[in-house]
């Protein structure tokens, strides 16, 4: 079971790194589009995607 949790957290970590890099390289790109792309690229669950939206939302 810990392997499943580790794989999920690893996917989320990679998605966070990807989103941060994309935002840095393309500052005019909408965060919604970047997160959506990362979610597909790293095969994230809806909960993981929700976490990203919550933590990367522009305030």
For the chain, the domain total comes to: 1
The pLDDT assigned to 58 comes to 60
**pLDDT, mean of residues 31-35:** 96
For the question of whether the overall pTM of this predicted structure is more than 0.95, the answer is no
For 41, the domain range is 2-26+34-56
The pLDDT assigned to 59 comes to 47
Distant-in-sequence, close-in-space partners of 57: CB < 8 Å, separation ≥ 6: 31
| Separation of alpha carbons 43 and 59, rounded Å | 26
């Amino acid at each position: 079971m810990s392997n499943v949790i580790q794989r999920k957290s690893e996917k989320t970590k990679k998605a966070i790194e990807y989103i941060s890099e994309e935002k840095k390289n393309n500052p005019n790109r909408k965060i919604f589009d970047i997160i959506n792309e990362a979610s597909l690229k790293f095969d994230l669950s809806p909960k993981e995607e929700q976490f990203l939206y919550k933590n990367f939302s522009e305030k």
